[in-house]
Amino acid sequence: MSILELRHVEKIYGERENQVNALKDISLQVEEGEFAAIVGTSGSGKSTLLNLIGGLDNPTKGEIFVKNREIGSLSRKELTIFRRRNIGFVFQNYSLMPVLNVYDNVALPVTFDRGKHINREYIEELLRELGIWEKRGKYPNELSGGQQQRVAIARALVNKPHMLLCDEPTGNLDSATTIEVMGLLKASSRKYKQTILMVTHNEAIAQTCDRVIRIEDGRIVTGKRRFPAKGGDDAC
Ligand SMILES: Nc1ncnc2c1ncn2[C@@H]1O[C@H](COP(=O)(O)OP(=O)(O)OP(=O)(O)O)[C@@H](O)[C@H]1O
Ligand SMILES: [Mg+2]
């Protein structure tokens, strides 16, 4: 079963002469547990694609199914709950809460949803693996860009989401930390059967993923899997 399916998705921003056709007839299936890189030049539609998959914006046409639910059919409230339970996000702008320290930023999604079940051991494990345990009492403005990015990654993983959507999660990290973070994401994806979609400009990183989805001018030009998914065909 595909965890994610897009059927003929189109996204147009703006009106009339200001129209931008950001995504054009995108059809795509992603299987549970797949780690896919999304690559393409600046402005090709990568962030738009992630935003639509995460239900942060609506497609102009087409349908998006996550775990067999068409997210466009959910009410705002249903979508908020569905997203919180199933999807983790790591954005280009870390979107951390400035008034919360590192630990509380990471615990925030749990506090929202399952306040009584904060898994302190898991939070500690994440913070240690990401090398920010020592910073747990600091506030976002006391951290470097790369440290903030790692806090955002910990926060996205804390609910063990079925699907993780990352927009350049290693963009601000040095190469050694990038390798560590990629290792952590891969281990997490294997351990919890998480599906990860990761936008990256780094071709070498993309090549370490199960699959590379390449977007050019709003269209998928290649999305082949390196290894055919179980029972699936090789096309996107
Ligand atoms: N809110 C918006 N309103 C109008 N146009 C938009 C909006 N967001 C994105 N666009 C346009 O849609 C196209 C795709 O943008 P998108 O942000 O998806 O690109 P991207 O591949 O993520 O680029 P980058 O690598 O620079 O982050 C671009 O032409 C952009 O200008
Ligand atoms: Mg982008």
Question: 125-155 pLDDT, tens per residue?
Answer: 999 988 999 999 999 999 988 899 899 999 9
**Is residue 229 situated within a structural domain?**
no
pLDDT at 179: 86
Please identify, by atom number, the ligand 1 atom nearest to the C-alpha of residue 49.
Answer: 18
Atom 7 of ligand 1, residue of closest alpha carbon:
13
**CA 218 to ligand 1 center in whole angstroms:** 10
The mean pLDDT value for 199-218 works out to 93
Look up the pTM and report it: 0.89
**Residue 194 reports pLDDT greater than 50:** yes
Which has the closest alpha carbon to 49: 225, 232, 198, 228?
A: 198
The reply to whether 52 falls in a domain is yes
Q: Is residue 20 part of a domain?
A: no
Give the CATH number for residue 107.
3.40.50.300
Ligand nearest to the CA of 53: 1
Ligand 1: which of 46, 49, 220 to mutate, most ligand atoms within 8 Å of CB? 46
- Asked if pLDDT for residue 232 goes beyond 50, the answer is no
Q: Are the C-beta atoms of 144 and 176 separated by less than 8 Å?
A: no
pLDDT at 234 over 50: no
DSSP-derived secondary structure for 151-209 = HHHHHHHTT--SEEEEESTTTTS-HHHHHHHHHHHHHHHHHTT-EEEEE-S-HHHHTTS
By residue range, what is the domain housing residue 121?
Answer: 32-58+85-222
Q: Is 14 in the pocket of ligand 1 (CB under 6 A)?
A: yes
Nearest CA to ligand 1 atom 31: 43
Output the six-digit token pair for 71: 């997210």
User: Is residue 205 over pLDDT 70?
Assistant: yes
How would you classify the pairing of strands 87-90 and 163-167? parallel
Asked if 203 contacts 210 with a C-beta cutoff of 8 angstroms, the reply is no
Q: How many domains does the chain have?
A: 1
Give the dihedral sign, CA 90/94/98/101.
Answer: positive
Q: Is the pLDDT of residue 203 over 80?
A: yes
Q: Which residue has the tokens 């070498």?
A: 204
Asked if the structure places residue 15 within a domain, the reply is no
193 falls within a domain? yes
pLDDT at 229 over 90: no
- Residue 25, in any domain of the structure: no
Name the residue at shortest CA distance from atom 9 of ligand 1. 48
Residue 67 lies inside a defined structural domain of this protein: no
Higher confidence at residue 186 or residue 84? 186
Q: How many angstroms separate the CA atoms of 8 and 178, rounded?
A: 34
DSSP calls for 77-121: HHHHHHHHHHEEEE-SS----TTS-HHHHHHHHHHHHHGGG--HH
Residue 51 Cβ < 6 Å to ligand 1: no
In the three-class reduction of DSSP (H, G, I as helix; E, B as strand; rest coil), residue 231 is classed as coil
| Alpha-carbon span 4 to 229, nearest angstrom | 14
- Convert the pLDDT of each residue in 23-37 to its tens digit: 999 999 999 999 999
Ligand 1 pocket test target in 9, 10, 11, 13 with most atoms within 8 Å of CB: 13
